[in-house]
Amino acid sequence: MLTFETVNELTLKVTSTGNDVLFTKAGSFIAGESSGGKNYKFEKILLGPQGNFAQAALGSLIRRATGENFPLMKVTMSGRSTTYYANYGQHIIVYKLAMGEIISVESENILAFTQDCKYDVRFIGVGIMSQKGLATTALTGNGNNAYVAVLSDGNPIVISNTQNHNTLSVDPDAVICWMSEHGYGDPQVKTDLSWKNLIGQHSGESYAFEWSGNQPVTVLIQPSERKGEIKLDID
């Protein structure tokens, strides 16, 4: 069995009791310790974490087509060990998913997850204004040991409308992940285009992810925007 915990907010500590499998961002391993010699090994995943070859190949194709592709590494443990993972000093947040619970997360914000998480890529909207707005990665709790570790570029904030039923509007380039009480809880992709976009007078906030008050959701946001917007300027 695996357990996840954070060390100083910037490092993921994974403890294994033996015969475990972990999926991590390739190159994120920074240290490890085990008794009686090294008992864990690393393997690059060429297609995807799915066990079925056809599903893995299809998933790889979808990830490449939607920009949700990211290099994965498989860590196989064969005894008691503690390993550590990090990514350029980014902050790390750990979730343990209940059976059937779903977290939708941007691929570049995934640090690690256990094999008790079902992995999938889904279309959610039309991403003409951002490279992040077409698809998202979904991880679903599929066992008693479904851990997920996500990355944030800086200390994240959490907004939720599960109690007040407010409408939430979020910049897609700042979204890390979201969780809903009802299935995937995907947002609507809202655009606000006008003639000002064509003459370089746009506000820079021309698109957003929006959840209405009847969509109970919790969203994790990083204080940094990805550079993915298409700028419409005329010289």
DSSP 99-160: TT-EEEE-GGGEEEEETTEEEEEEE-S--SS-SSSSEEEEEEE-STTEEEEEEESSS-EEEE
Asked whether residue 234 is domain-assigned, the answer is no
Asked whether residue 90 is domain-assigned, the answer is yes
Give me the half-sphere count of Cα atoms (radius 13 Å) on the Cβ side of residue 2.
32
191 contacts 206 by C-beta, under 8 angstroms: yes
Gyration radius from the chain CA atoms: 19
CATH (domain of 27): 3.60.160.10
Rounded Cα distance, 85 and 24, in Å? 8
Asked whether residue 65 is domain-assigned, the answer is yes
Q: Which residue, among 50, 54, 53, 49, has the nearest Cα to 26 in the 3D structure?
A: 49
Asked whether residue 228 is domain-assigned, the answer is no
| pTM higher than 0.85 | no
Number of domains making up the chain:
1
Q: Write out the residue range of the structural domain in which residue 19 sits.
A: 2-221
pLDDT one digit per residue (tens) for the chain, 235 residues: 999 999 999 999 999 998 999 999 999 999 999 988 999 999 988 655 655 545 555 555 555 555 545 688 999 999 999 999 999 999 999 999 999 999 999 888 999 999 999 988 887 765 444 444 467 889 999 999 999 999 999 999 999 999 999 999 999 889 999 999 888 899 988 876 544 444 444 445 567 899 999 999 999 999 998 765 444 333 3
Asked whether residue 60 is domain-assigned, the answer is yes
